[in-house]
Amino acid sequence: MKRAERIKHILNNFDKESYRKNLIHWFKEEQRILPWRENQDPYRVWVSEIMLQQTRVDTVIPYFNHFMDKFPTPDALAQADEQEVLKAWEGLGYYSRARNLQNAVREVVSEYEGVVPADAEELGNLKGVGPYTRGAILSIAYDIPEPAVDGNVMRVLSRILRVEDDISKQSTRKLFEGLVKELISDEDPSSFNQGLMELGALVCTPKTPSCMLCPVQEHCRAFDEGVETELPVKASKKKQKKSPYLLLLVQNEKGDVLIEQRPDTGLLASLWQYPMVPLEDIGHEAVANWFYGEYGLKVEVGESVDRIKHVFSHLIWEMEVIKVTVKEGTLDHERAIFIAPEDMEDYPFPVSHQKAHPHINR
């Protein structure tokens, strides 16, 4: 069955108008007061949507407020130094979001005179603006009826409409985008899309949906048939790879700390960190020799002071934190520097390495 026919089949006998009305009314009555909802400024909507990817609302609020204080306009963000932007993002994770946002905003400033495009194609061509972010900006900021489909929305609609397709598949996302296009309100697409998002966040939650509080319960096929907790269907993820490391807290005779900048591309690009010894390749007994070869410094490897486990979406870092003292030599590493402990705040570190900060001798 072609997608258009499937959409028509799914929505057969579904009261779209009543569903729309109930959802929008509930959202206007019950929506949370959030800083990015103060107005419909497309730049604020954009920043909030990028921050909210993979991150909880409560976590995002202080970051959003701080970020908007520092970079209140597209011009301010476009002109900022990347390290300053990464520092403002420090702790939110998924740092490529910050870099892509800044690169895209620079394009908005240079190509569109600092005005976020209201055209779907122009907006979608910006770095890091996928179909969801594009739909969110167009509908929330510009009142254009465009679908904004993420995992939250797919969960809600898979229950409401009883769709049993695997939501981890791209084809399922396309199906839900088509369904939202049919369901969305032309008069108030902003409240409709935000209502779907809010419903997923507050009521139609992943494990134990609060069906008795649901404003669209009368429309929900999964609830009607008692299968709401079985939906959505989602294939299980591949197991995360575990990577063991030694995290070295290296200090010289002045008490300065050795830090290094990660490569400009890849995981945690351009952030700063303490040196990491890959234990899959280097044994504990070879650390001093490895360190001399990598950094040109002779060191004394000291005691273990902590163990840090950090979980990424695709891998797990298991790090043993070791104190190390420099004995002699001159630093020879193009991306490493010694800094005074009190200057640590000037450098953006990933959360995994921030956890080791308290062990630095100050």
What does the pLDDT look like over 198-235, one tens digit per residue? 999 999 999 999 999 999 999 999 999 999 999 999 98
CATH no. for 3-230? 1.10.340.30
Mean pLDDT of 108-116: 97
Q: What is the mean pLDDT of the chain?
A: 95
Pick 181 or 53 by higher pLDDT: 181
User: CB-based burial of residue 123 (10 Å sphere; 0-12 exposed, 13-18 middle, 19+ buried)?
Assistant: buried
Mean pLDDT of 261-287: 92
Name the amino acid, one letter, at 287: V
pLDDT value for 352: 95
- C-alpha R_g of the chain: 25
pTM: 0.84
pLDDT value for 70: 98
CB atoms within 10 A of CB 317: 19
Confidence of residue 138 (pLDDT cuts 50, 70, 90): very high
Confidence of residue 80 (pLDDT cuts 50, 70, 90): very high
pLDDT value for 255: 96
Q: Which of 5, 17, 30, 49 is catalytic?
A: 49
Residue 338 has pLDDT above 90, yes or no: yes
Mean pLDDT of 65-78: 98
Q: Would strands 315-329 and 241-251 be described as parallel, antiparallel, or unpaired?
A: parallel
Spatial CB neighbours of 295, under 8 Å, sequence gap ≥ 6: 258, 275, 329, 331, 332, 333, 336
pLDDT value for 84: 97
pLDDT value for 314: 86
230 has catalytic annotation? no
Phi, psi of 151 (to 5 degrees): -60, -40
Confidence of residue 313 (pLDDT cuts 50, 70, 90): confident
pLDDT tens track for 40-50: 999 999 999 99
Residue 72 has pLDDT above 90, yes or no: yes
Residue 238 has pLDDT above 90, yes or no: no
pLDDT value for 265: 87
Nearest CA to 49 out of 97, 6, 17, 106 is that of: 97
pLDDT value for 239: 82
pLDDT value for 54: 83
CB atoms within 10 A of CB 299: 21
Q: What is the 3-state secondary structure (H, E, C) of the chain?
A: CCHHHHHHHHCCCCCHHHHHHHHHHHHHHHCCCCHHHCCCCHHHHHHHHHHHCCCCHHHHHHHHHHHHHHCCCHHHHHHCCHHHHHHHHCCCCCCHHHHHHHHHHHHHHHHHCCCCCCCHHHHHCCCCCCHHHHHHHHHHHHCCCCCCCCHHHHHHHHHHCCCCCECCCHHHHHHHHHHHHHHCCCCCHHHHHHHHHHHHHHCCCCCCCCHHHCCCHHHCHHHHCCCHHHCCECCCCCCCEEEEEEEEEEECCCCCEEEEECCCCCCCCCCEECCEEECCCCCHHHHHHHHHHHHCEEEEEEEEEEEEEEECCCEEEEEEEEEEEEEEECCCCCCEEEECHHHHHHCCCCHHHHCCHHHCCC
Residue 149 has pLDDT above 80, yes or no: yes
- Topology of the domain comprising 241-359: Nucleoside Triphosphate Pyrophosphohydrolase (3.90.79)
Show me where the domains of the chain are located: 3-230, 241-359
Q: At what angle do helices 57-70 and 82-89 cross, to 10 degrees?
A: 150
Confidence of residue 38 (pLDDT cuts 50, 70, 90): very high
pLDDT value for 1: 76
